[in-house]
A and B are shown apart, each in its own frame.
Chain A
C-alpha cells in the first residue's frame, strides 16, 4: 500500500532519522527531556483547531493501539468524537505487565511526547480534560510527568486543556481500561461488566478515550510529520515502529524501538545476542505465548506472525524449565486477578496448581485435565484476564510438550540439573 498524503509534509531533513523515533533525543543518562529540549527537537505541536483533521491523519497512518489489543486508533478516536457530550482523554501508562517497561521509559524520558499526544488527541475529539495514569510504584515516571505537566501549564502550552496525573494501584488488572475508568470515577480499580464500554460511558459518564502511552506518543509524531512519514517503517498492514521490552538470557536487556515486521533475530542481535543457549521465547509478556527456538529463528515481530500483546519478550535459557517458569507466571496471574468472576478465580487457581504439580514432577495431572481447564476459562471473565492466562498455559503445553512428558514419566525435567 502506498502512503496516503492528506497534506504537504515537512521537508524530509526536518524529520527525525528513521530509528529511533519515539526514543530519539534521550540523553545517555536517561534523564527526562525537558520542555525546551523537546521543543528544540520537535517544535510546537501543529494546532489551530484542526480538530477532526488529526483523526484523518491517524487513519491514513494506520496506527494501531500499542497497549496490547492492536485496535485501530482512528476508529477509537472517531467512536469517542462522534458521541454526545464532552469527551475525556485517559492516557494509560499503568503498565501492569511485569515483563514490560516500555511505557515507563516513555513517561520517564520523553514525557512531553506523551503529553503532546494527549493534547493532540484531546483537541481532535474536543476534550478539555485529560488524565495520565501511572502506577503508584513508578515514582520516577510520576515525577517526570508531574514536572512536565507543570512546565507546560506555566507556559500555557495546552490552552484550555487540563492535564492531570493519577496514581493507580500496582495491580496487573488495574491497567485494564474499564478498571482504569472505574478507578477514576472513585471506585475500585477493577474491570467492569461491559457494555457500556469507556467510549460510550467512561469518566464522569462522558465518552472516554483510553489510549496507551506509546500510542499517544505516536499520535504526537503523526500530528507533526504526517502519515506518509509514519508508514516509512513497518509493513503495509502494520505500519510504524514499536517499543519492545526484551529481557531474560540476552546480553543487553532493555527497551528497543524496532519497525513492525522486524525479524526477532535482528532484535536479538541489537541486544548483543543471547547470553546462553535459548530454548524458547515468551512473546507478548505474561498474556503472551511461548515460541520455541526453531520457530523463533524465523519469527517476525508482526501480529501476522504472532500475537505481540504488550510487546514484551522474555528469552528463556535452555538451563531453565519452561514448565516451572509457566507455573510461576500462572500463579502470578491467578493472584493478580480482580477476584470478581468465578471461572477466572477458580480456573486460574486450578491451572496454576496443576502446572506447579507438573513442574515439580507430581504425576496427578494429565495434560488433558489442564487443557480442559484452559478451555473452561476462555472468554468467561468480564475482562480478558482469563483469556491471557489460558493462552499462556496452552502454548506452554504445546511448546514444552516433550518437557511435560519427561516430568510425567520420570518426575524430572531437562532443566533440573540446575
Chain B
C-alpha cells in the first residue's frame, strides 16, 4: 500500500528538519510549521520520507497509508 506523510500538529514544535530533508513534500509556513503535501511517496522518495520521519525531534512526522491521509496537514 502506498504511503504519504502526515504531521501530528500537537507534537510538532516547528524544528523544521522535515522541510530540509523532504522538500518534495514539506514546506514551512511563516511561523515555521510544516505544510505537508499528501501526494503518496514512492520508491526513492519513500526512503527519504522515512529518514525525515526518524529525524524529527518530536516524532511528529509520520508515514501513513496514503488512503487515510486526508487533506493538508
Q: Are A380 and B31 closer than 8 Å at their CB atoms?
A: no
Knowing A195-B68, A379-B73, say if A343 contacts B31 (CB, 8 Å).
yes
Give the distance to chain A from B25, nearest Cβ to Cβ, in Å.
Answer: 15
Q: Are A380 and B11 closer than 8 Å at their CB atoms?
A: no
Give chain B residues whose Cβ lies under 8 Å from the Cβ of A340.
9-10
Q: Are B30 and A381 closer than 8 Å at their CB atoms?
A: no
- B35-73: CB near A (< 8 Å → 1, else 0) gives 100000000000000000000000000000000101111
Q: Are B9 and A341 closer than 8 Å at their CB atoms?
A: yes
Within 8 A of B (CB), among A291-331: none
Give chain A residues whose Cβ lies under 8 Å from the Cβ of B73.
379-380
Give chain A residues whose Cβ lies under 8 Å from the Cβ of B13.
342
Knowing A195-B68, A380-B73, say if A346 contacts B31 (CB, 8 Å).
yes
- Chain A residue with the shortest CB-CB distance to B13: A342
- B11-30: CB near A (< 8 Å → 1, else 0) gives 11110000000000000011
The docked-state distance in angstroms from the alpha carbon of A191 to that of B10 is 9
Give chain A residues whose Cβ lies under 8 Å from the Cβ of B14.
342
The docked-state distance in angstroms from the alpha carbon of A341 to that of B9 is 5
Q: Are A193 and B68 closer than 8 Å at their CB atoms?
A: no
Knowing A376-B29, A380-B35, say if A341 contacts B10 (CB, 8 Å).
yes
Give the B interface residue count (CB, 8 A). Answer: 18
CB-contact partner of B8 in A193, A343, A347, A379, under 8 A: A193
Knowing A376-B29, A376-B30, A380-B33, say if A343 contacts B68 (CB, 8 Å).
no
Give chain B residues whose Cβ lies under 8 Å from the Cβ of A378.
72
- Chain A residue with the shortest CB-CB distance to B68: A195
Give chain A residues whose Cβ lies under 8 Å from the Cβ of B30.
376
CB-contact partner of A343 in B9, B11, B70, B71, under 8 A: B9
Q: Are B11 and A342 closer than 8 Å at their CB atoms?
A: no
- Chain A residue with the shortest CB-CB distance to B33: A342
A382 interface residue (CB < 8 Å to B) = yes
CB-contact partner of A342 in B31, B68, B71, under 8 A: B31
Give the distance to chain A from B30, nearest Cβ to Cβ, in Å.
Answer: 7
Give chain A residues whose Cβ lies under 8 Å from the Cβ of B12.
341-342
Give chain A residues whose Cβ lies under 8 Å from the Cβ of B9.
193, 340-344, 380-382
Give the distance to chain B from A390, nearest Cβ to Cβ, in Å.
Answer: 12
Give the distance to chain A from B23, nearest Cβ to Cβ, in Å.
Answer: 19
Q: Are A193 and B72 closer than 8 Å at their CB atoms?
A: no
A212 interface residue (CB < 8 Å to B) = no
Q: Are B10 and A379 closer than 8 Å at their CB atoms?
A: no
The docked-state distance in angstroms from the alpha carbon of A191 to that of B13 is 17
Knowing A195-B68, A379-B71, A380-B73, say if A343 contacts B10 (CB, 8 Å).
no
Give the distance to chain A from B3, nearest Cβ to Cβ, in Å.
Answer: 16
A192 interface residue (CB < 8 Å to B) = yes
- Chain A residue with the shortest CB-CB distance to B36: A380
- Chain A residue with the shortest CB-CB distance to B8: A193
- A355-381: CB near B (< 8 Å → 1, else 0) gives 000000000000000000000101111
The docked-state distance in angstroms from the alpha carbon of A63 to that of B22 is 44
Give chain B residues whose Cβ lies under 8 Å from the Cβ of A195.
68
Q: Are B8 and A382 closer than 8 Å at their CB atoms?
A: yes
Give chain B residues whose Cβ lies under 8 Å from the Cβ of A192.
10
The docked-state distance in angstroms from the alpha carbon of A380 to that of B28 is 12
The docked-state distance in angstroms from the alpha carbon of A340 to that of B8 is 10
Give chain A residues whose Cβ lies under 8 Å from the Cβ of B71.
379
Give chain B residues whose Cβ lies under 8 Å from the Cβ of A344.
9
The docked-state distance in angstroms from the alpha carbon of A76 to that of B13 is 34
The docked-state distance in angstroms from the alpha carbon of A207 to that of B38 is 28
The docked-state distance in angstroms from the alpha carbon of A179 to that of B46 is 33
The docked-state distance in angstroms from the alpha carbon of A381 to that of B71 is 11
> Which residues on A are within 8 Å of B, measured CB to CB?
191-193, 195, 340-344, 346-347, 376, 378-382
Other 6 A-B pairs with CB < 8 A, given A193-B10, A195-B68, A341-B10: A191-B10, A341-B9, A342-B12, A343-B9, A376-B29, A382-B8
Can you list 13 residue pairs at the A/B interface with Cβ under 8 Å? A193-B9, A340-B9, A340-B10, A342-B14, A342-B31, A342-B32, A343-B29, A344-B9, A346-B33, A376-B30, A378-B72, A380-B35, A380-B72
**4 closest A-B pairs (Cβ-Cβ)?**
A341-B9, A342-B33, A346-B31, A340-B10
